[in-house]
Each structure stands twice: as C-alpha cells, then as structure tokens.
Structure 1
Amino acid sequence: MYLGLDLGTSGVKAMLIDEGQRIIGSASAALEVSRPLPGWSEQDPSGWTRATEDAVGTLSATHPQALAAVRGIGLSGQMHGATLLDAQDAVLRPCILWNDTRSFREAAALDSDPQFRALTGNIVFPGFTAPKLAWVRENEPEIFAKVRWVLLPKDYLRLWLTGEHISEMSDSAGTAWLDTGHRKWSESLLAATRLEERHMPTLVEGTEGAGMLRPELASRWGMGANVVVAGGAGDNAASACGMGTVREGQAFVSLGTSGVLFAANARYLPNPESAVHAFCHALPNTWHQMGVILSATDALNWHSGITNRSAAELTGELGDMLSSPGSVTFLPYLSGERTPHNDAAIRGVFAGLGHESSRAALTQAVLEGVSFAIRDSLEALSAAGTSLARVTAIGGGSRSRYWLKSIATALNLPVDLPADGDFGAAFGAARLGLIAATGADPIATCTAPETAETIEPEVSLVPAYEEAYRRYRRLYPAIKGATIQSSRGV
C-alpha cells in the first residue's frame, strides 16, 4: 500500500492506493487561511500537522489493515509558502502563502537583477518565496535574524514526518532561488536575499526517497517500520503525475482556487518575458511550463458570496447550452494576476454593465473572464515555444459543463474529461511514494486515465468568442492604475 498526502490551501487530503494503483480510501481535514491585512495570506504550520493527524487518523480507523501495509508515502503541497524556522526547528511566524502579495516591491527589486531570470527561467513574482524573505528582512528584522531554515509547506510536513530537512526540484523551482536548468540551489541568488545554501533543505528528485517515517508516528497510525517518504512534488506537478501529464505535449487545465494551464516538457524551455513559469517536473530530467491565474473558482466563489447563491445554482441558471458572450466583461483579478501581467496591484472589474444586466449575465461574464484568462496563458505558452493540440480538465470547476464549453471555445481546443476517479495531487503523491518505495519506472507508473468524454469547441461561437477575447484584452491597459488596493496591503 502507498499513501499520498496533499497539503492544500483549504485542507489536507490523505489517499491510500494499492500496488495496482487502485484507490483504497481517502480522507480530508480542513484548514483555515488568515488574512490579517489586505493582500496578506497566512497559515499557522501547526494546523498542517493537526489536519494531517486528523486525515490519517480517519484512514487508520476506516482502513487499518491497508494503512498497516503502507511501504511508501508521497507528499504534495501548495507552493511558494515561506515557512521560517529557528535552529531548534521552532516556527518563527505564520507561513506567508502563495497568494500573499505584500512583497510586490521586493519582487520587482529582485526581478530587476538580471541573474534571477537568467538562472531561474522565471519572473520573480510576488507570490514566490525569495521576495517574501526580502520582505521579512526589511519589515521583521528580528525574525529574519533568527532564521535557520526556510522550508516550503509540504517540506515542513516532511520535517514533522521524518525529522529531515529535505525538498525536491518541482516545489523548489518556485522559490526564485533554484538554478532550474541545472536543478540545484544558486548561491548567488540566495546571497541576493542575504541567505546561504545552509538555510536551504537538501534537494532530491520527487521520485527519490527523502527520509523515513518516524517510529512514533508509525506506531500511532498502526504502520510498520521502514516506511519511506518520497521527495514528492509541488501541487501542480503532483497533479500532473496523477493525471499522467509527464510526456512532451501533454497538458491539463486545472480549475481550482487558482487556475493553471500546465504543459509537460522533455527539455528546459524558459521564456520569462511571457510570464509563464518554467519549473522542474517531479520526474528526473523533465520540466514543465505553467500559465497561472490567481482566481479561477475563487472568482465564482466570490460571486457566489455576493449574490448569496451557491456556485451550482449560479451555473445552473445558465443551462448546458453555451451562449454567445454578452455585453458584460469580467476581469478575474481579485488578488492581482500572474500570467501574463505579473501585476500584484491590479484588481478585478465588471465592464459593460447596464440596466439589463441580470445575475445570470454576471455569472456568464465571470465564467468567460476565467476562460479568457486561461486563453492568456495559452498565448503565453505559445510564445514560450509550446504548442498544444488538446487539454484535459481537472479541478472543482470542471464539474460545470457550461464552463468547460466556454474554455474549449475560448482556447479553440478540445477539452478531455478523464474517466470517473480521483487523479489529482494526492493520487500523484501516492504514485511518487510507490516509485520511491519500489524503484518502479516513473513514466510507466504515471499513466494517463481513460478519457470519458471530449468537449469540443462550439465552432459557430468561435468568432464571437474571439471578438469578446479582444475586448477582454483591451480592458487591462484601460484600467491599469485605476484600481486601488489599500496601502496597508500591496
């Protein structure tokens, strides 16, 4: 048996699979996000360990024999978070999360140093880890002075599980300290933020062993001795392992809290000017590119809160038949945007509102706005040298057929839906645990699920969507500088 642990923003998910990769059981536990100031987003790392205890404890109660047979554990985690520890491994402050934009000035300063883009292959985004440390140095110098270890969220979980300070390539590529092409820490980039390699965890590949489960935890959960913990992956690379998106040309679109267009690459293809992320994949000698938007289902959930209607009710009002874009355009920049703008200060907007604009019209605009933001990522990937013939849809937003039709038509690409099953980050993490424990071939292990259905673009609406996309593209420069974010935040 093999256990996957996915540390997300809103919860921890634990999944058990057997040697045939059949899902035996899963359990989840919720997490809370603290937003003490506008633009800030933090979590207490002790919540991660409590949620993991709860999730694995549930599996221990419901599947004790399967859990007792676990040989390997894989980890997946939300990326970019700055978890700061002292020399005794005590947490110095709440973790600054991926969607925290307070360090946008520090990010711009680091990005102006040419070595960052040259070595990392990426823009230094405010959500990345390095500018967060620069912010802490400037604003919380007493904490910065005590920093002995900087860990990513899942690697703090690993420390609790194994006692080891270890990370892997895919997650570490999102720090802005990794020489991504050579898959190693860069001393010069660390020095730019007044850190050294001694502050960083040891690096392994995601498929390699990265510590053994501590005996006290194994005993508490009814597990045996010598359970290996794999290097694991950042959440998107783990999802790619779960979806089998590991070969050149394979791609998926993820409609989660954030939105991701992810393409696997057999070689390193950086193009930071396109605002596409070029990261190491979880498998050795592979890389990937990502276009990332900060608000995907988050935009629909915001609209749900404003209208006091559930997301399912809102999308249900649209029916299943795709409509031509209306007069209302929505920019989903509720927390700023990464691809393609790298703008932490921009905020969302509805444009084209009239007396006739109904709740359904606004819902349609929200879905279209996210679809067009993903189209922006497709254009950015194309500029970075990646051409896609189709994508697979995953994430909570993929349950809306209307939204899938909108995305297929906005991208003018077929969108595949995988067969029923959970092929997300927890499943990908479990696969990495299997590989680390058994030495199985990574490519042969990380296969794609069967396609249950393909959503084709609505050919008759492609011209209308193209026109609406051009209108969408004109809005950003028109409102840049006109939206205001509190000075207490970004």
Structure 2
Amino acid sequence: MLIGIDIGTSAVKIVLTDLQLQVVATVDRPLSSQYPQPLWCEHDPDQWWAAVSDGLDELARAHPTAMAGVQGIGLSGQMHSLVLLDEADRPVRPAILWNDGRAAAEAAELMQTDIALRRAVGVQPMAGFTGPKLRWLRTHEPEAVARARSLLLTKDYVRLQLSGEKVTDVTDAAGTWLFDQAQRRWSPQALAACGVDPAWLPRVVESCEPCATVRDALAARWGLPRGVPIAGGAGDAAAGGVGIGVVGPGDGFVSLGTSAQILVADTAHRPDPERLVHAFCHALPQRWYRMAALLNGASPLAALASCTGGASVGELLAEVEAAYAGPSRLLALPYLFGERTPHNNPFARGAIVGLSGATTRADLMQAVCEGIAFSLADGLAALSAHTARPERLALIGGGARSAFLAQLIASVLDVPLVLYESADRGPAFGAARLARLAVTGEDPAGVVVAPAVRQVLAPDAALHAAYQPRLEAFRALYRAMAPVWASVA
C-alpha cells in the first residue's frame, strides 16, 4: 500500500493506493487562507499538519488493514511558499503563499541582476517566489528574519512533522528563485541576491528518492509499520505531471485548480524568462519542464458563486450550460490575485464589463468561464512562442470535473483535451507514484504512465472561430485596465 498527500491552497487531498496504484480510499480536508492586508495571502503552517494528521486518522479508522500494509508515503504541495522556522522548528510567522503580491518592489529590484542568473533559475523574479519574499521580510519584518534558523516549503513542513527531517526535492526548490535548474542545486548567486543564509536551506533530493521515515509514535497512531519511507515528493505542478504520465518530451497538461498551469515536459533545461515562461526541474532525474503559470485557475468561479447568493459552482455551471448560445456579450478578467504568465503583474484584479439590467448570474458565470479560458490562451501563446504548439493536452485538477468548462477551454485553445481517470487528484496520485518509486527503485518508465482515458474533448472549430474576436477584446480590456490596477489593488 502507498499514501500520496497533496497540500494545496484550499484543501489537503490524500489518496491510499495499493502497490499497483489502484485507489483504495481518498480523504479531503479544507484549508483556509488569510488576507491580513491588500496583496497578502498567508496560511498557518500548523493548519497543514492538522489537516494531514486528521485525514490520516480517518484512514486509520476506516482502513486499518490497508494502513498496516503501507510501504511508502509521497508528498506534494503548493509551490513558492515561504516558511521560516526558529531554533525550536516553530514558524516565526505565518507562511507567505504563492499568490501573495507584497514583494513586487523586491522582484523589480531583482530584475537588475544579470540575465544569466534569470536563465539559470528558470524565470524572471516575481512577487510570489520565495526569494523575493524573503528579501521583503528583511526590510519590513527584520525581527522575524533575526529569529529564523530554517527555510522550508509547504510539503516539507509536513515532512518535518512526519519525520523530523528537513528535506526538499528538486521541483519544489526549483520554484523558489533560489535554485540552479540545470545543475539541480541551490544557486549561490540567487541566494546572495535574495539575502538567504545558505545554512537555513534543507537538503535537496530527487523526487523519487527516499529521504526520511515516519516517526515511530506517528506510525503507532495510524497503524503503520515502523520505518515507512517518505519520498522526496514534488511541487504540485510536477507531481500532477507524474500522476498522468506527463514526463516525456512534448507531453503536456492543463491544470485547473485554485491556480492554473499549462506544462510541457522536456529532457533539457530550456529557459525563456523574457516571455515569463517558467523552466523548472521535473520530478524524474534528467527531466525538466516549461510552464505558463497562472495565478487564477478555477478560483474565480468559487468567488463569483460566493457573491451571487450561495449557489454552488456546479449549480451555476449547470445554469450556464442550459442557457448557452455562444460567446457572451460580457467580458471578464479573472485576475483575483494578479497574474504571472504573460503579464507578471501582482496588481491586476478581476473585472466584468458589459453589465445591463438584463444580466443574470448565469451570464456572469459564463463570462468568468470565458475569462479563464482566455487567460489560458494567453499562457499557451507565451509557452508556444518559440516551440510547436502541443498536439493535445491532458486536463487535471478540480476544473476537470466540468465537461462544459473543459469543452469551452478545448475550443478556445484549439487543442484536444484528454480527461483521465482520477484527473482531479493528479498531484496526490503523482505523490503516490513517487512513493512507489522510492520503495521499489524500479525504472520509472513502467510506473509513470498515462492512466485510463475517460474522455477526449475535441475543439469545436466553429466555436474557436467565434471566440477569436472576444479573445482580442479580452486582451484589449486588460491593456485598458492596466493603468488603474495599482489604485484598486
């Protein structure tokens, strides 16, 4: 048996599988974000551990026999977080998350570094990355930095609680703006630029490498064998790729969760920081990927549902699908948390234009769905500027549950989308696969394969043509709104 744990932004997801990676049970636990000031987004790291431990308690109660046979654990998690620990390994302040924009000025300062450094770390400096946020803390919260003795990332804080070990993997380290992607090691130049003490940093391992074991007391609590190994694991983007077999050159996926990514795997580090493409280490040795990273995935759908009377996202999507008659007259910008690819603008915010007295909540929801699809089209354009467009892409994440939204995205992108079984649990399932590799040491080619295909959604050529003028209007609206973002964010 294997356990895969994904610590996301809105939820912890845990999968229990057998050694053949057939899912035996799943558990979800919600997480909540705090927004203490404009542009800020934080989590209490102990919330992650409470959610993970409670989920494992449930699995122990419901599946004691399976838990007694667990051979390995894999971890995945939201990337780019900043978790500073004191000498007692306690957080000195709340974790600063990937969608936090407070370090915009520090990221702009880091743009003065040599282009060779930006290519080595794989991307331009952006406000949400770990390094710029540490630079912000040195200026604005020096007392917190003075107490710091360790720097960890989200999943690695959970690993510390599970095992007592401070370890990260190459894919999570890749998203810090502190890591040399080609060399797969910390970058002394980036550490110096961001003011990071090398002594704070965890040991770095490959994602499929065993690197720690579960504490005896916790093993007894959950009915696990003693000494269960924990794999290096991976950041959520890379783990999602492992979960659906996207590791070979040209393989790609769209991930639509709280945030969104379009990722294409490769066998070399091919940086393109000028286009705001992220070029990072992948979760298998000698593998890398290129990614358009979007800060707003399906989260605008949940935000609109919250603002329109309490109907669920699913109910609103059903209303849209029932009334759908082609492109909306409304235009929506989905940038609740700013945007990375292709804008690198932490100040961008959401907007809906074209409202009239006849506008319904289904109209609003359709416009937001289209705005998400248009932002993905912008990301794909950046990703494909110097390479061939992918022939098809998998779709993973919670957004994969809606066939209507998936079909809309396929048509706007003009790319077939493949829906796999358990696609909404990609990172947690990928973490379980990494656990198996850590346990068996086998060739990844026999493990990291595509799951069973549930459906292939071909783009609708007529809809694609109909949406092209709306996509251009969407881009024009962003340009028109850009001068006011700082005043509203």
**TM-score of the superposed pair, with normalisation by structure 1:** 0.96
What is the CA distance between 1:368 and its match in structure 2?
Answer: 0.6
**CA RMSD for the aligned pairs?**
1.6
Distance (Å, rounded) in 2 between the aligned partners of 1:400 and 1:323? 18
List structure 1 segments (4+ residues) > 4 angstroms apart after TM superposition: 420-423
In structure 1, how many angstroms separate the alpha carbons of the residues matched to 2:99 and 2:47? Answer: 18
- The answer as to whether partners of 2:13 and 2:425 remain within 8 angstroms in 1 is no
Name which of 413, 416, 438 aligns with 1:414: 416
2:60 aligned residue: 60
How far is 1:321 from its partner?
A: 8.2
Q: Matched residues in 1 for 2:294 and 2:323: separation?
A: 26
Give distance in 1, aligned partners of 2:291 and 2:81. 18
Corresponding residue for 2:431?
429
Correspondence for 1:370: 372
1:242-270 alpha-carbon deviations (Å, 9 max, x no partner): 11111111111112111111211121111
Q: Structure 2 residue aligned with 1:404, among 406, 411, 417?
A: 406
1:107 aligns to what?
107
Structure 1 residues 120-152: Cα deviation after superposition (integer angstroms, max 9, x where no partner): 120111111001101110011111112211100
TM-score, structure 2 normalization = 0.96
Alignment check: 8 A CA contact 2:420 2:455 kept? yes
Aligned to 1:154: 155
Counterpart in the other structure of 1:83? 83
> How high is the sequence identity, in percent, across the aligned residues?
42
Alignment-derived partner of residue 239 in structure 2: 238
| Pairs within 5 Å for 1:85-484 | 85-114=85-114, 115-308=116-309, 309-319=311-321, 323-385=325-387, 387-419=389-421, 423-484=425-486
- Alpha-carbon separation, structure 1, partners of 2:478 and 2:68: 54
The residue identity in structure 2 corresponding to 1:172 is A
| Other-structure match for 2:46 | 46
Instruction: Give distance in 2, aligned partners of 1:409 and 1:137.
Output: 46
Letter matched to residue 71 of structure 1 = Q
Q: Which amino acid aligns with 1:255?
A: L
Q: Which amino acid aligns with 2:166?
A: H
Q: Secondary structure at the match of 2:321?
A: coil
Q: What do the CA deviations read for 1:259-292 (whole angstroms, capped 9, x no partner)?
A: 1112111211110111111111111110112212
Contact 1:207–1:232 at 8 Å: present in 2 too?
Answer: yes
Structure 1 gap ranges (5+): none
Distance 2:452 2:26 in 1: 21
- CA displacement 1:38-82 (0-9 Å, x = unmatched): 211111111111111101111111111111111111010111110
CA apart distance, 1:485: 4.7
**CA distance 1:477–1:361, shift in 2 (3 Å):** same
Alignment of 1:14-33 (within 5 A): 14-33=14-33
Q: Deviations over 1:6-49 (max 9, x none)?
A: 11112222211111111111222222211111211111111111
Aligned length: 487
Tell me how far apart the structure 2 counterparts of residues 198 and 141 of structure 1 sit (CA, whole Å): 18
Per-residue CA shift, 1:311-349, capped at 9, x if unaligned?
122211122686421321111111111110000011122
Matched AA of 1:265: D
**Change beyond 3 A, Cα 1:435–1:457:** same
CA–CA distance in structure 1, aligned partners of residues 55 and 402 of structure 2? 28
Question: What SS does the aligned partner of 1:28 have?
Answer: strand
Q: State the AA in 2 paired with 1:21.
A: L
Contact 2:330 2:364 survives alignment (8 Å) = yes
Separation in 1 of the partners of 2:243 and 2:483? 41
> Contact 1:116/1:123 (CA < 8 Å) preserved in 2?
no
Alpha-carbon displacement from aligned partner over 1:407-427 (angstroms, at most 9, x marks no partner): 111111111111367651111
Q: 2: CA distance between counterparts of 1:26 and 1:423? A: 9
Q: Distance in 2 between matches of 1:195 and 1:147?
A: 11
